Amino acid sequence: MSKVRIYQLAKDLGVDNKELVDTLNELDIEAKNHMSTITEEEAETVKELFVDKEPTDEKQEDSEQKLTVVPPVTVGELAEKLEIDSTSIITKLISKGIMASINQNLNEQILSDLASEFDFVIGDESQEDEEDSNEEEKIIEEILKDEPKGDSAERAPIVTVMGHVDHGKTSILDAIRETKSLESEAGGITQHIGASRVVYNDNTIVFLDTPGHEAFTEMRARGAHVTDISILVVAADDGVMPQTVEAINHAKSADVPIIVAINKMDKPEANPDRVKQELTEHNLVSEEWGGDTICVPVSAISKDGIDELLEMVTLVSEMNELQAYPENTGKGTVIEAKLEKGRGPVATVLVEDGSLNVGDAVLCGNTFGNVRAMVSDIGKRINKATPVTPVEILGLEDIPNAGDTFQVVPDEKQARQIAEQKKEKEREEKLRKNQAVSLDNFFEQMQEGEHKELNIILKGDVRGSVEALKESLLKLNDNEYGIKVKVVHAGVGTISESDIMLAVASNAIIIGFNVRPENNAKKAAEQENIDMRMYRVIYEAIEDVKAAMSGLLDPEYKEVVLGQVEVRQLFKVSRIGTIAGCYVTNGHVKNDSYIRVIRDGKVIHEGEIRTLKRFKEDVKEVQQGYECGILLEKFNDLKEGDIFEAYNYEELKPKVVE
């Protein structure tokens, strides 16, 4: 039987000599070095072993060689990664019915359609980064985890006062504080720190001092759910007004129980039955009329009914069985925050659970610090705040936002680390695409499972129009997509900043009918990325919402030919390419134009301009009758007499009446 040299076999198999010798020894085939010989039978055994390995290796090699693309990525970025002309990608997208520019972001679905065409794979962030991130999140979760300690105790309710302007929200708050404030017992002076405590029949009640639903919803928009009970103030002589309706919808949206205080009962024209009748139109039926809404007649001037109102607050609180764990480490919500000269960042916080002590390290939103001092709502310095206590705290590094949560952590170092990571996450979040729902992206988000309900805020010039539009929108609920239209709020008047904050809190779009947004509302909408649509025809509003639900409101594009350029001379420059000396015969050409190269009436290339020059200067545009130099992106096969057709894509806006 003939023998086979190991080095020859290694060469045939394409493996290293040493690797083959080691493999043979593992198989108990004697091989001292690459000059040793083995039998043909032994060689066949080894060949089968390596052949079995090859497909896996090749597969791994192919997989490793494939480019990994992490969405989102623009057309230009993808072309750069693939080292191809971006026009190839744009052409392929157009063939699939997708109009895209070089700066268009491509989502995962579009990338998956392109992956097989251009031979790349879609990936996530590297596993290592993901593991690091998960590990950090576990550490933070462990630090912030606070298992209940000791026995639970009944806690005081937190109450917000809402209602229409001039219906007496502040007057009722003042009347309650004048007669029931802790200052009468503690000898202090009430401090305006954003929240205050009152005592009724040995029961403490905490009132948020900023009346109105705007502050309430602003905190909700930041993820804070502070309020336990909402007192809705309605003037007995005025009835339900537009802001009353707003307040009702804000409270319902937050799923907060409502107690109605029918104020100004001291006036001769007071008509509480009218108020109760109007409330039924908004599904608030008083107990006297067989419903479950508590209505209390009061007068902030004579203070009649104040005790009954507080008694109802206590009753609702007992029914809700509000609990806290005083022995836990403190946690709660920021009510107000400001920068004071000589004191630095000062935050009013409401301790909702556990206890907060002077000296505690706290994480407060995206900032942190050590509690250097605490001042109560009656102006006294305290060392410990138990549930539910509003206090001013000093010692934070920066000013937090109203609605931010705070929590005691083991030490300041950990607080700093967590705050920095939260800031980093916030920065990353801002870099992502707008997450707020809009009519343009609703269908796409719906398909990804992000939305099963389209929340809408309606504002119009007259109630009849608003009701007609509302009824038409609600009829869309009977649709093939299983999507529900929910009108979160419908009201008369201009679109206000309050509407924007409600849209943020409920992830809603705003539809205005014959009304315009106020200036501060417009700014807030831009800042919060809220979709506002203005209409003058109900039909158009309905059609746009229908289109959003069926995915028809995609932007459309049309091709616009800008001009024609004749190639008159060619200049070949090493390491740069072929520069075409051109003359603009018609229209104009821009440095961001797409170019068709036409030769003998046939298109031989489509691509982009790399540089556009006049003499030696880069220019943005060259008009008809002027000469210029054009260097195309990744295309040099040019001839004198070639025609460049310059064109761009123009987006066709949806027909929305402004």
User: Is 132 within any annotated ligand binding site?
Assistant: no
- Nearest by Cα to 561 from 595, 591, 592: 595
- Nearest by Cα to 316 from 212, 236, 227: 227
User: Is 237 within any annotated ligand binding site?
Assistant: no
User: Is 250 within any annotated ligand binding site?
Assistant: no
User: Is 164 within any annotated ligand binding site?
Assistant: yes
User: Is 492 within any annotated ligand binding site?
Assistant: no
In the chain, the amino acid numbered 478 is D
- How far are the Cα atoms of 201, 389, 395, 650 from residue 386, in angstroms, in the given order? 20, 6, 19, 62
User: Is 209 within any annotated ligand binding site?
Assistant: yes
Query: Whole-angstrom Cα distance, residue 641 to residue 633?
Result: 19
In the chain, the amino acid numbered 646 is A
First-to-last C-alpha distance (Å) of the chain: 93
Contacts of 277 (CB under 8 A, 6+ apart): none
- How far are the Cα atoms of 36, 251, 487, 607 from residue 212, in angstroms, in the given order? 93, 11, 21, 58
User: Is 478 within any annotated ligand binding site?
Assistant: no
Q: Which residue has the tokens 């690091």?
A: 132
- Nearest by Cα to 386 from 410, 360, 351, 362: 351
User: Is 166 within any annotated ligand binding site?
Assistant: yes
User: Is 266 within any annotated ligand binding site?
Assistant: yes
- Nearest by Cα to 545 from 517, 516, 508: 508
**Which residues sit opposite 486 in a β-bridge?**
455
Query: Whole-angstrom Cα distance, residue 581 to residue 570?
Result: 6
User: Is 169 within any annotated ligand binding site?
Assistant: yes
Task: Tell me, rounded to whole angstroms, the distance of Cα 178 from its chain centroid.
Answer: 43
User: Is 437 within any annotated ligand binding site?
Assistant: no
Q: Is 342 helix (H, G, I), strand (E, B) or coil?
A: coil
User: Is 213 within any annotated ligand binding site?
Assistant: yes
Query: Whole-angstrom Cα distance, residue 4 to residue 29?
Result: 13
User: Is 212 within any annotated ligand binding site?
Assistant: yes
Tell me the two tokens of residue 513.
């009918």
User: Is 264 within any annotated ligand binding site?
Assistant: yes
- Nearest by Cα to 156 from 347, 388, 432, 465: 388
Going by the annotation, the residues of the binding site for GTP are 163-170, 209-213, 263-266
Going by the annotation, the residues of the binding site are 163-170, 209-213, 263-266
